[in-house]
Amino acid sequence: MSDDVIGQRHDPDLPRYAGIATFALLPTIDDVQRADIAVLGVPFDSGTSFRPGARFGPAHIRENSRQLHPYHAVHDLHPFRDVQVADAGDVAVGPYGIERAVDAVEVHARRLIDGGARVAALGGDHTIALPLLRAAAAAHGPLAVVHFDAHLDTWDTLHGASIWHGSPFRRAADEGLLDLDHCQHVGIRGGIYDPDELVDDARAGFRIIRSEEFLERSAAAIAGQIRERVGDVPVYISVDIDVLDPAHAPGTGTPEVAGITTAELFAVLRRLRGLEIVGCDVVEVAPAYDHAGITGLAAAHTAWELITLMSASR
Ligand SMILES: [Mn+2]
C-alpha cells in the first residue's frame, strides 16, 4: 500500500535466471528501512532422523523462487507491493549442537519480530519450528498451529535427543507456546509405532486431518474444518514439504508415499485467507534427493502462498 515499498528486482536487461538469488528476487533486509515480512533461511539439519541434507534447503528454495511473480491472480493481491517483504538471509547456525543452534534461531527471529516483522522461515529440518514458535509466542502469546506434514512431530525423545525434527510441537506444547484448543495437523499418514502416540499427540493440542481424507472431501470442507479449529487465535502455519506425495516432493528427508498433491495443498492454503498469521515456515527440503527442482519449486511457491496470506492478514 505504501509508496516506499521496494518490490522484486526489475532490470529489463537482467533476466530472472541471472544475478544473485534472493527469495523471489526481493530486496535484502539491508536494502529496506523496515520489513513487514522477513524471509529467513535456516540452513540446519542436525535434528534430522533419516536422510540428511535439509541444511541446503534455503539456498535451493531461493534458487527455485526466481519465477515468482508480483501478482497473485487467485487472491487478486500484490503481496510484494501491499507490504514490505525482504530476504533476511540465513541464521548463522552451525551443524554441531542442537540446543546451541535452536538458541541462535530464536535470537535471530526475535530480533526480526522486535523490529516489526513477521518471519517466513525456509528450512532446514523441522527442528527449527521450535525456536520460531518460541519467538512468535513471546510476541503474541500461545499460538494456534496449522501443521501440514506426513508426520505428527509430537514425539518425545529419539536417540537421547529431546529436541529433534520429530519433537518440535511436543516441546512447544510442553513449554506453553501452543493454544491447545486450536492446533491442527493436515496430511498425516506416516508410520506410527504405537497408538499411544496418538494419545500424546491429542494431549499436545492437535486434531488430525489425514491424507486419505483429501480423496473423499473437498478442499473447501477441509479448509473450513481448519478455520473452525483455529478460530480467531493468532496462528503459525508450518509446512513440512513431505506433506506432499514423493511424486510432488521427492527431495526431502523422510518421504512418505500416498500423500497429497501440490494443487491440493494450494487449494486448502488459498482458503485460509483472513486468519491472523503471525509466522510460518516451509521445511525439510533436501535438494540432494530432488530432481529438476520439483521440490524446490513446490517449496518456493508454497512460501509465496503463505506470504500472500500473511500480506492480507490482520
Ligand atoms: Mn515434520
Q: Which domains does the chain have, with CATH numbers?
A: 23-311 (3.40.800.10)
Place of cell 508450518: 238
CA of 197 to the centre of ligand 1 (A): 15
b/e sequence 229-261, b meaning 16+ C-beta within 10 Å: bbeebbbbbbbbbbbbbbebbbbbbbbbeebbe
* pLDDT of res. 191: 87
CA of 95 to the centre of ligand 1 (A): 19
CA of 14 to the centre of ligand 1 (A): 37
CA of 255 to the centre of ligand 1 (A): 10
* pLDDT of res. 185: 98
Could you tell me the mean pLDDT of each successive run of 10 residues in the chain, 314 residues long?
85 95 98 97 98 98 97 98 97 97 98 98 98 98 98 97 98 98 96 94 98 98 98 98 98 98 98 98 98 98 98 85
CA of 48 to the centre of ligand 1 (A): 9
CA of 124 to the centre of ligand 1 (A): 11
Which residues have C-beta under 5 Å from ligand 1, the single-atom ion? 126, 149, 153, 240
* pLDDT of res. 1: 53
CA of 286 to the centre of ligand 1 (A): 13
Instruction: Please report which residue ranges of 175-293 form alpha helices under DSSP H.
Output: 196-203, 213-216, 219-230, 262-269
Strands in 85-90's sheet, in edge-to-edge order, are: 85-90, 37-42, 118-123, 277-283, 235-240, 144-148, 183-188, 206-210
* pLDDT of res. 190: 84
